Amino acid sequence: MKKSLLSAVALVSLAMAAGSAFAADQSSGVTREHVRAELQAARELGLSPVTEFNFPYTFEQSVQLQKRTAEIEAAHAAMPQAPVAN
């Protein structure tokens, strides 16, 4: 009985820790626009589609990807936004 109670408590605590880690990961603030820009940059740099042969990227490739993603996001931010019709 004591062993099963201890196992149950351990299981619940493990599930709670995993849930909080997942929730923290979801609140990273990554937007759809950022993901789109990163995908566009990966395509332009020849890093997409990701396969077992080109992932994980080298350090230089990841720096290049981050720079190009930032450039694309800046270009999108500079574009005037069209008014939204109701």
The tens digit of pLDDT for each residue in 5-14 reads: 656 555 555 5
DSSP label at 86? -
Position 14 scores a pLDDT of: 57
73, pLDDT greater than 60: yes
Torsion angle defined by CA atoms of residues 73, 75, 76 and 79, in that order, rounded to the nearest 10 degrees: 160
What is the rounded distance in angstroms from the CA atom of residue 20 to the CA atom of residue 68?
Answer: 32
pTM greater than the 0.75 cutoff: no
- C-alpha separations of 9 from 1, 6, 17, 19, 58 in Å: 12, 5, 12, 15, 42
